[in-house]
Amino acid sequence: MSIEEKQREIIDEFAIYDDWMEKYEYIIELGKDLPLIDSSKKTDDRLIEGCQSRVWLDAAVNQGKLRLTADSDAIITKGIIGLLVRVYDNESPEDIVKSDLHFISEIGLQEHLSPTRSNGLASMVKKIKLMALSALAK
Amino acid sequence: MENGATRKFSVREIRQDFPALRQQVYGKELIYFDNGATSQKPQMVLDAINQYYSMDNANIHRGVHHLSQKATSEYEEARETIRRFINAPKKEEIIFTKGTTDGINLVATSFGELLQPGDEIIISAMEHHSNIVPWQMLANRKRLVLKVIPINKRGELLLEEYRNMLSPKTKLVAVAHISNSLGTINPLDQIIEAAHAVGAKVLVDGAQSIQHTKVDVQVMNCDFFVFSGHKVFGPTGIGVLYGKETLLDEMPPYQGGGDMISKVTFERTTYNDLPFKFEAGTPHIAGGICLGTALNYLNQFDSKELEEYERDLTEYAQEMLETFENIALIGTARNKTSVVSFTVQGIHPFDIGTLLDKQGIAVRTGHHCTQPLMDFYQIPGTIRASFAFYNTREEIDKFIAAVEKSISMLG
């Protein structure tokens, strides 16, 4: 499935919720389902410090694909991370660089990606794109 | 009615004065519990802002024309309203600033010029970053020593330790009147008396007190008192520094520019008298005038009545939160008001805050610009509900129900 197809799929999943609390209930479930990053890997170089919640991103390029895992100390942040990982994991750096991340705003969560929200998510997306770019440059 | 009040306090009535309170967010009635960050504005203030920019707009202190004189007299009248509100002896002791942070930086820079290497400044463990960082910067610049009054688990200053820190080397003590994260009301009388006994001056950060308790700088006998307009139902971008005249006279100007001078040549400049010496450039004229309006709004009421009402709200919220087994209150000082800060076991404050928001409730989560205090409690942050006199017990009931729902979703 392409990045675009995955984004479409997530938008469809969220279309059934018309209540904010139901939407967040789903995000919280996603957060609980996301595998934890091993605490030995929660090192400072993987930490994206936010003012509110902290995000750890473990990413590497493997056989031409970017492989991602991430974690957060806040469960809602973690749920949104789960969505971002689903979209970007196992995609080529080229596809990631080309992609337009639009599903977050379409499902009404754009506030979480605002840099002023300081939950580390905006920095996480930036970091993923930068990794993809530097992989392309090699 | 007492204390010069002209209007009986009725929460149902006064809520009508605040248009921002009559709105829905995410389809829910807004419950605004983020008054520690900023307060909503009464219609009187909104009208005054509109009136100023519609009809009275002109630059002050320099024009010969009618509008300039009108704006100047309104601005100076506001200064007088502020003086009366905090009972400062003289109008010249009321300096308009951008806000609390600006006032503290003014004192740190200007009073700081009078200090010598090795001199000591004392702050407390519960200070807002804006009452920490300017002193750290000054201490680095002038090679001063910065000391910190410790607190107990309840969030109360350890006065014995404070007294032991004081010495003839102490030049300034800078403390919050009321803690923004904990709601603790600090015993200023004892702090100030002990500081004066060793010849130190005291700056009181009144950002969280001016809107909740009667401030009388003469009774308090502080040397500096700073606050922000926007937390006391006035506009953002305006604040006040009160300083004792003898001290302000001694201090060099903070910024250079227009209005703060008496005569300028390329060789030298003589400075204007107080308060203008510290007010370089065109000030926030509308802000100053409308801060005066905000204080006049408050002057209608008996401040004691508002204070008791807010204390009751605080106690009620605290009692309700105490019924949750997995909630820990952060800041349980015996003398506190208007703030309840708490954490929920195993749940990040950010998650609770996000879900409360979606239920129409505005709280603040995080470290509240008091990272050293959060380190003391070994927590990443708290959920903070902070009240104003327009909040109600019914709102607290809805808030408690929303907290309960959030915990059950996250748990």
Peptide bond into B89 cis (omega under 30): no
Q: B41 and B20 in contact (C-beta within 8 Å)?
A: yes
Average pLDDT (B393-402) is: 98
In which element (H, E) is residue B145 found? Answer: strand B145-149
DSSP state, residue B122: E
Which of B13, B40, B137 lies closest to B387, judged by CA?
Answer: B40
Which of B327, B316, B303 lies closest to B389, judged by CA?
Answer: B303
Q: In chain A, what is the straight-line distance between the N-terminal and C-terminal CA atoms, in Å? A: 26
- The shortest C-alpha distance from A97 to chain B (Å) reads 30
Write out pLDDT tens, residues B293-349. Answer: 999 999 999 999 999 999 999 999 999 999 999 999 999 999 999 999 999 999 999
The domain at B47-299 falls in which architecture?
A: 3-Layer(aba) Sandwich (3.40)
Q: B362 and B31 in contact (C-beta within 8 Å)?
A: yes
Query: What's the Cα-to-Cα distance from B303 to each of B7, B214, B403, rounded to whole Å?
Result: 11, 6, 31
Which tokens hold the place of B72? 């100047």
Identify the pLDDT of residue A45: 84
CATH classification of the domain holding A126: 3.90.1010.10
Tokens 């030298």 label which residue? B268
Percent of chain B with pLDDT over 70: 100
Q: How far apart are CA B133 and CA B218, in angstroms?
A: 28
Tokens 């969030």 label which residue? B155
pLDDT-derived band at A50, boundaries 50, 70, 90: low
Q: Do A73 and B380 touch (CB under 8 A)?
A: yes
Interface contact B348, partner A, CB < 8 A: yes
**Helices and strands of chain B, counted as H and E runs:** 14, 17
Tokens 């003012």 label which residue? A51
User: Taking 80 as the threshold, does the pLDDT of residue B51 lie above it?
Assistant: yes
Write out pLDDT tens, residues A56-100. Answer: 988 899 999 999 988 998 999 999 999 999 999 999 999 999 999
Q: Do domains B11-32+301-410 and B47-299 have the same CATH topology?
A: no
The residues, any chain, with a CB within 8 Å of residue A93's CB and separated by 6 or more, are A61, A64, A66, A131, A132, A133, A135, A136
- The shortest C-alpha distance from A79 to chain B (Å) reads 11
pLDDT-derived band at A110, boundaries 50, 70, 90: confident
- Cite the active site residues of B: 369
In which element (H, E) is residue A10 found? Answer: helix A3-15
Among the residue ranges A39-53, B102-116, B219-233, B318-332, the one predicted with the least confidence is: A39-53
Q: How far apart are CA B411 and CA B405, in angstroms?
A: 10
The residues, any chain, with a CB within 8 Å of residue A4's CB and separated by 6 or more, are A99
Q: Which of A1, A36, A47, A51 is catalytic?
A: A51
Sign of CA dihedral B126, B130, B136, B142: negative
Q: How far apart are CA B200 and CA B355, in angstroms?
A: 47
Q: How far apart are CA B290 and CA B285, in angstroms?
A: 9
Report DSSP letters for B8-20, one per residue. ---HHHHHTT-GG
Beta bridge partners of A55: A48, A72
Q: B200 and B170 in contact (C-beta within 8 Å)?
A: yes
Q: B188 and B177 in contact (C-beta within 8 Å)?
A: yes
Q: Do B350 and A24 touch (CB under 8 A)?
A: no
CB contacts of A74 in chain B (<8 Å) are 348, 350-351
Average pLDDT (A1-22) is: 94
Find, in chain B, the residue whose alpha carbon is nearest to that of A30.
B410
Decide: helix, strand or coil at residue B65: coil
* Residue of B129, B344, B345, B351 to mutate when probing chain A, most A C-beta within 10 A: B351
| Identity of the residue numbered B24 | Q
Q: Do B355 and A24 touch (CB under 8 A)?
A: yes
CB contacts of A75 in chain B (<8 Å) are 347-348, 351, 410
Tokens 């008996």 label which residue? B302
pLDDT-derived band at A51, boundaries 50, 70, 90: low
Write out pLDDT tens, residues B102-151. Answer: 999 999 999 999 999 999 999 999 999 999 999 999 999 999 999 999 99
Peptide bond into B275 cis (omega under 30): yes
Q: How many domains does chain A have?
A: 1
- The shortest C-alpha distance from A115 to chain B (Å) reads 15
**Helices and strands of chain A, counted as H and E runs:** 6, 3
Query: Any idea where the domains of chain B sit in the sequence?
Result: 11-32+301-410, 47-299
Tokens 């105490």 label which residue? B322
User: Taking 90 as the threshold, does the pLDDT of residue B352 lie above it?
Assistant: yes
Identify the pLDDT of residue B380: 87
DSSP state, residue B356: H
Q: How far apart are CA B129 and CA B121, in angstroms?
A: 15
Q: How far apart are CA B260 and CA B271, in angstroms?
A: 6
Give yes or no: A29 in active site: no
The domain at B11-32+301-410 falls in which architecture?
A: Alpha-Beta Complex (3.90)
ipTM of the complex: 0.89
Which of A38, A72, A35, A36 lies closest to A52, judged by CA?
Answer: A72
pLDDT-derived band at B207, boundaries 50, 70, 90: very high
Establish how many alpha carbons lie within 13 A of residue B338's alpha carbon, considering only the half-sphere containing its beta carbon. 28
User: Taking 80 as the threshold, does the pLDDT of residue B250 lie above it?
Assistant: yes
Q: What are phi and psi of B139, to 5 degrees?
A: -60, -40
Identify the pLDDT of residue A119: 65
CB contacts of A54 in chain B (<8 Å) are 380
What range does the domain containing A129 cover? 3-137
Sign of CA dihedral B104, B106, B111, B112: positive
List of long-range contacts for A40-47, beta carbons under 8 Å, 24+ apart: A42/A71
Q: How far apart are CA B148 and CA B159, in angstroms?
A: 12
Tokens 């789960």 label which residue? A82
